[in-house]
Homo-oligomer: A and B are copies of this chain.
Amino acid sequence: MELEYLAQILVTLVVLFALARVGSAIVSRFGLPGLIGEILIGIAVANIPIGDTTLLEGVLGCVMPEPGVLTDHGNDVYHVIYALAEIGVIFLLFTVGLETRVNDLMKSGKPAFLCALLGVIVPFIFGVIVIMAYDGNMNHAMFLGAAMVATSVGITARIIKDMKLMDTREARIIIAAAVIDDVLGMIVLAIVKGMATSDSLSIGGIILIIAQAAIFVLAIIAICKWVIPRIYDYFEARRKAKMAEGKVPMSVNMLVVAIIVCLAMSALAEIIGLAAIIGAFLAGMMFADHAWEWDLEKKIDSITTFMLSFFFLNVGMQVDLNTLSNGSVLLLAAVVIVLAVIGKYIGCSLGSKMGDKTLDRHSLNIIGFGMVPRGEVGIIVASIGLSSGAMSSELYAVVVLMSVITTLIAPPIISKMFRSKYHDEYKILPEDRV
């Protein structure tokens, strides 16, 4: 098909978007998160052969960059997909940040904090050990460890919400721990990315990177806690003063302000060697206290509705199924998946128990398995590793597989465990995305 430039882009966008949404709707019918359908569609369009080409390349004219070649950005059409995908995931992390209030974070209590902390440390160590044993590459090991850290609370939260168990003790620990897990995960990612992109890896250099990443994240948290409220109060006071004078206060479109801060923080994070999504997440935290007032979540949601599908499509498109035909890679994937489940389960249940001795076996099971699904965050970490050249396409495929499978197996286990503690009559509705 020989098309004009704009026609080519539009055809590619609409075909990929429509396929992704159909994939999402199909898996949602089975009670699974839609993003799994979108990833599978991405894998399919890039891997299923049509003649000697694929739907993606042959029909849609979208040429992916050669894996590992950092200066290759794919063809014109792929640029557009890539940009939409990146902006989409930036806005996604921004909305995650919007739900993360610094004050709640500080009040979330010992069991949640220890649950998150051990839930980060144990899987990270497991991941590093496996890869050091597998290929001995430190960058690979660090990125796989970081990808195993992330918890995607969205999936567990949906189950809890659907079962109307929001006010149980386990649910509260899981939600708080997942939020702290996000923050810790961002720090881990910042450190790992800093180490992968710096040339020399002396002990001093590592300490510098850790300090730099931790300082950046903690500085923003401090800004959220002490600076933002004052800025807000200042403008509120000015607005009220103007209204008291009988003048119409200048209204500011907060969506525009949010977009500017989100993009600026993302750019800043990238420039200082962290990941863009870390900046976006921290930017979201800056608006968390007043997001409801400005209806920001809903508005950003409309933007991600359009863009985010391209991120998960792209996640799938980057998976080269050929790498999984290798027996040792498949074995590695199996080991990683088992350790991802066990590591999170041990870390989180142990941490919660240490924080609150009164939690019984049922509760620890719920918390341990509730933190297992990796969902999008592990994949985001892996794709950063892939695009910065710190991860091989084999390991990338392993992480995608790990994220998809932990996300697939966790929901039935979690809901079964909730039922066995809180008995029955809870019904899970399929997600209503198209």
Contact = CB atoms under 8 A, between A and B. Distances in A.
A10 B263 contact: yes
Interface string A370-387: 000000000000000001
A164 to B, nearest CB: 15
Contacts of A266: 10, 14
Interface stretch (A113-121, A144-152, A245-253, A403-411): A245-253
Q: Which 6 A-B pairs have the closest CB atoms?
A: A14-B263, A10-B267, A7-B270, A302-B302, A299-B302, A80-B83
Nearest to A251: B432
B433 A260 contact: no
A256 interface: yes
A299 B306 CA distance: 10
A5 interface: yes
Interface string A238-267: 000000000010111101110110011011
B76 A248 contact: no
A305 interface: yes
A271 interface: yes
A18, A79, A252 interface centre (most CB from chain B within 10 Å): A79
Interface in A406-434: 429, 432-434
A299 B297 CA distance: 12
B259 A306 contact: yes
A6 interface: yes
Contact of A7 (B6, B271, B298): B271
Given A83-B9, A267-B7, A270-B6, A260 B21 contact: yes
Contacts of A11: 267, 271
A303 interface: yes
Interface string A262-304: 0110110011000010000000000000000000001111110
A22 to B, nearest CB: 10
Given A6-B276, A256-B434, 4 more contacts: A10-B263, A10-B276, A14-B263, A17-B263
A338 B300 CA distance: 43
A4 interface: yes
A84 B9 CA distance: 11
Interface in A48-77: 73, 76
A86 interface: yes
A9 B76 CA distance: 14
Contact of A302 (B3, B79, B90, B300): B300
Contacts of A263: 10, 13-14, 17
Interface string A21-33: 1000000000000
Contacts of A306: 259, 303
A255 B73 contact: no
Contacts of A302: 255, 298-303
Contacts of A255: 302, 305
A82 to B, nearest CB: 9
A336 to B, nearest CB: 27
B432 A14 contact: no
11 contacts: A3-B270, A14-B264, A14-B266, A17-B260, A17-B263, A21-B256, A79-B79, A256-B433, A259-B305, A259-B306, A301-B302
A429 B86 CA distance: 38
Interface in A311-342: none
Contacts of A90: 10
Nearest to A275: B6
Given A302-B303, A303-B302, A432 B17 contact: no
Contacts of A253: 305, 432-434
Contacts of A79: 76, 79-80, 83
Contacts of A301: 302
Interface in A67-104: 73, 76, 79-80, 83-84, 86-87, 90
Contacts of A303: 302-303, 306
Given A80-B79, A253-B434, A259-B306, A267 B21 contact: no
B267 A434 contact: no
